[in-house]
Amino acid sequence: MAISKKEKVDDIIEILEKLYPEVPIPLDHKDTYTLLIAVLLSAQCTDKKVNEITPLLFAKADNPFDMVKLTPDQIRVIIRPCGLSPRKSKAIFDLSHILIEKYEGEVPNTFEALEELPGVGHKTASVVMAQAFGVPAFPVDTHIHRLAWRWNLSTGKNVTKTESDCKRLFPKEKWNKLHLQIIFFGREYCPAKRHDPHVCPICSKYGRKVLFKK
């Protein structure tokens, strides 16, 4: 008897909940501003590397008022190991100015306002809205994009489609925790390389047939 998509989704949620009943936010931060900067730096960079670099940056400036006292070049030298440093340093400097001029130094709490900030795309805004403000969101990173395709939950055409499909399939009240659970699962059980679908707790049950072809 074929399993329904709802039963499959419910089972995936149960597996993830058993494996990761508690999920810490992967990026070290102390407030909304430092989270925003850390997420911005994480673009095309590992969380581990970001967590190595942000203490150096935040020792000099952990708020927009101190950040604008640095030059973009000073910021760039510190964050260079995170990659894309010319673009990221300018974005950090410019958005800090905007936060001071427009929001009295506070990070705004709407998707629209966040996505208007330099260097802040939809994924970054979604992470901040979910993890700082508790607003339901489903940020899609490479792990979630990969796993949603492997589990036949999305077509894998693009991250926008993956986000839409995940939001449609998973209960809204679980989004904020669930997207972190999937990230942790992807790193531990379902990596991009050297992945064995036969032993993966979810792919072994629901993985696409193409995964098992030799």
Q: What's the Cα-to-Cα distance from 68 to each of 36, 86, 94, 166, rounded to whole Å?
A: 15, 16, 8, 38
Distance CA 185, CA 191 (A): 9
Residues 6+ apart with CB under 8 A from 16: 178, 181, 182, 185
> Which helix or strand (DSSP H or E) is residue 99 part of?
helix 85-103
Task: Tell me whether residue 196 is one of the annotated catalytic residues.
Answer: no
Is residue 123 part of the annotated active site? The answer reads yes
Which of 141, 193, 209, 214 is an active site residue? 141
CA distance 72 to 151: 42
Q: One of 8, 47, 88, 123 is an active-site residue; which one?
A: 123
Task: Report the run of H or E that residue 122 belongs to, with start and end.
Answer: helix 122-131
**In angstroms, rounded to a whole number, what is the distance separating the alpha carbons of residues 18 and 14?**
6
Token pair for 98: 């905007």
- The residues annotated as belonging to the active site are 123, 141
